[in-house]
Amino acid sequence: MLESFLDYVDAHQGQLIILGDLFELFRYPLDRIICRRQGLLDRLARMKTIYVPGNHDEEITHVLDTGACLHPFFDRTSHAFVRSIGDRRFKFVHGHEVDPLINAPVQNIGRMLGSFSYFLEYRHGTCLLSNDMVTHALLEVGERLLALGGWLRSGLESTWRRCRGVIPEEKITLLAREIRTHRMLGRYDADRTEGLYDIAIVGHTHKAGKFSDWYFNSGLWTGPTNNFLRITPDGRIDVFDWGRQGPRPNETVVAARGPHRFTEHGRARRSYG
DSSP letter for each residue of 134-184: HHHHHHHHHHHHHHHHHHHHHHHHHHHHHTTTTS-HHHHHHHHS-HHHHHH
Report the alpha-carbon distance of residue 74 to residue 84 in Å, rounded. Answer: 23
**Distance between CA atoms of 154 and 184, rounded to whole angstroms?**
24
Residue 81 sits in a domain whose CATH number is 3.60.21.10
* pLDDT tier at 146, thresholds 50, 70, 90: low
The pTM (predicted TM-score) of the whole model is 0.74
Q: How many domains does the chain have?
A: 1
Residue 176 included in any domain: yes
Domain extent, residue 93, equals: 2-99+171-266
Task: Give the per-residue pLDDT at 6.
Answer: 97
CB of 94 within 8 A of CB of 80? Answer: yes
The better pLDDT of the pair 32, 261 is held by: 32
For residue 124, tell me if it sits in a domain. Answer: no
> CB-hemisphere CA count at 13 Å for 260?
10
| DSSP assignment letter at 71 | -
> Is 75 within the bounds of a domain?
yes
Rounded Cα–Cα distance for residues 138 and 135 (Å): 5
pLDDT in tens, 251-260: 998 864 444 5
Q: At what angle do helices 38-46 and 2-11 cross, to 10 degrees?
A: 10
pLDDT at residue 129 above 50?
no
- List the single range of 5-19, 132-146, 222-236 with lowest mean pLDDT: 132-146
User: Which pLDDT belongs to residue 248?
Assistant: 97
The answer to the question of residue 147 being in a domain is no
What's the mean per-residue pLDDT of the chain? 79
User: How many helices (H) and strands (E) are present in the chain, helices listed first?
Assistant: 9, 10
Q: Nearest to residue 90, comparing CAs of 228, 248, 254, 234? A: 234
Confidence (pLDDT) at 174: 42
Report yes or no on 84 lying in a domain. Answer: yes
Supply the pLDDT for residue 207: 87
pLDDT in tens, 17-67: 999 999 988 878 899 899 999 999 999 999 999 999 998 898 898 888 888
Q: Is the residue at 131 inside a domain?
A: no
Q: What is the DSSP string of 221-244?
A: SSSSSEEEEEE-TT--EEEEEEET
DSSP label at residue 131? T
Tell me whether residue 210 is in a domain.
Answer: yes
Asked if the structure places residue 121 within a domain, the reply is: no
H or E stretch including 17?
strand 17-18
Write the CB contacts of 135 (distance below 8 Å, at least 6 apart in sequence): 117
d(CA 217, CA 210): 6
CA 49 to chain centre: 17
